[in-house]
Structure 1
Amino acid sequence: MAKPLTPPEALHRAAALCSSAEHCKADILDKLTRWGISPADSRTIIDRLVQERFIDEPRYAIAFVKDKFRFSGWGRIKIRYALQQKRIASSDIDAALACLDEEQYTQRLLDLLRAKARSTTGDDTEARRAKLFRFATSRGFESNLIFNALKQIEP
């Protein structure tokens, strides 16, 4: 069994983690807990990381939004929910989601729906539309945008 980390060692390890990739307070707190660091020491370490800008939640939220939209094809609803699970402030979430370009967002939805439509079977038009709608909502896109996109891809 590995020896437990001391608070200075945990601070150093957490700083190294934060310098290699964006992390939020909740991520680091989970790591510190797994490393056996007390809650009081964890708060001190996190405060120091925030003070030295290793952790910056608005910056984290922007990076998270861009990555999940670009690489995972998630919509605003799913991204917002994931950030809320990481205990990011609503104002930071709103600011990060505002960074998404509306034209790219709509185009991404259209591309996802077209790709899914090619692999969706069924003769009934309404059944296909329902499948595509469920797919897009599971990706976190807004229903009004989905309806508009479905009108564009299926006459």
Structure 2
Amino acid sequence: MDNYSQALNWAQHYCSKAERCPGDVLKKIGKYNLDADSVKGLLENLRKENYLNDARYARAYVVDQFRFSRWGRIKIRYMLKQKGLAEKDIQEALEQIPQDEYLESLKALIKEKEKHYAALEAYEKKFKLLRFAYSRGFEPDLINQCLDSSKNY
């Protein structure tokens, strides 16, 4: 069995276990020493056989990072761009997050973190919570809206 066939079999197995993006596959197939044309053909083959699907990957990634890691849209968008996905696929996937669920997640995140800053002055607590929520990828206007609706600031 030649290197291309081995790499294709391995990539099919790798992609069948979980959603993958082309970047994930490229990182792993380096051990097969394929030339650029073979790599391109391998990725095309995986797409044709529906092992790789950027839109499906983006949707799964958004759901996982929002529900389990509790990331906001900004951070999720940035990470998907880093993985080389198209803006169209990213936008469609992000639109799947219900706005009310998104706001509730942000409020819960702020409420949880607020306990750590109980001893601080109100303005310092607000600044730290704002910075924390922003680092999680939530939009500044939504963060301010949540913080302003709280009676503690």
Name the TM-score, length of structure 1 as normaliser: 0.93
Q: Could you report, residue by residue, the CA deviation over 1:102-136 in whole angstroms, capped at 9, with x for unpaired residues?
A: 00000000000000001114431100000000000
Q: Which stretch shifts more, 145-154 or 93-102?
A: 145-154
Tell me which residue corresponds to 1:123: 120
Tell me which residue corresponds to 1:76: 73
Query: 1:36 deviation in Å?
Result: 2.5
The separation in 2 between residues aligned to 1:34 and 1:121, in whole angstroms, is 52
Tell me which residue corresponds to 1:112: 109
The separation in 2 between residues aligned to 1:9 and 1:153, in whole angstroms, is 58
Match runs of 1:130-149 below 5 Å: 130-149=127-146
The separation in 2 between residues aligned to 1:36 and 1:71, in whole angstroms, is 36
Cα RMSD, aligned residues only: 1.2
Compared CA separation, residues 34 and 82, structure 1 to 2 (3 A): farther
Compared CA separation, residues 32 and 120, structure 1 to 2 (3 A): same
Tell me which residue corresponds to 1:96: 93
CA contact (8 A) 1:114 1:153 kept: no
Unaligned runs of 5+ in 2: none
Tell me which residue corresponds to 2:38: 41
CA contact (8 A) 2:71 2:137 kept: yes
Residue-pair matches, total: 151
Query: 1:25 deviation in Å?
Result: 1.0
Paired AA for residue 86 in structure 2: A
Q: Could you report, residue by residue, the CA deviation over 1:72-104 in whole angstroms, capped at 9, with x for unpaired residues?
A: 010000000000000000000000000000000
Paired AA for residue 18 in structure 1: C
Query: 1:150 deviation in Å?
Result: 0.6
2:12 matches 1:25: no
The separation in 2 between residues aligned to 1:27 and 1:35, in whole angstroms, is 15
Query: 1:154 deviation in Å?
Result: 3.3
The separation in 1 between residues aligned to 2:120 and 2:55, in whole angstroms, is 47
Tell me which residue corresponds to 2:55: 58
Paired AA for residue 147 in structure 1: N
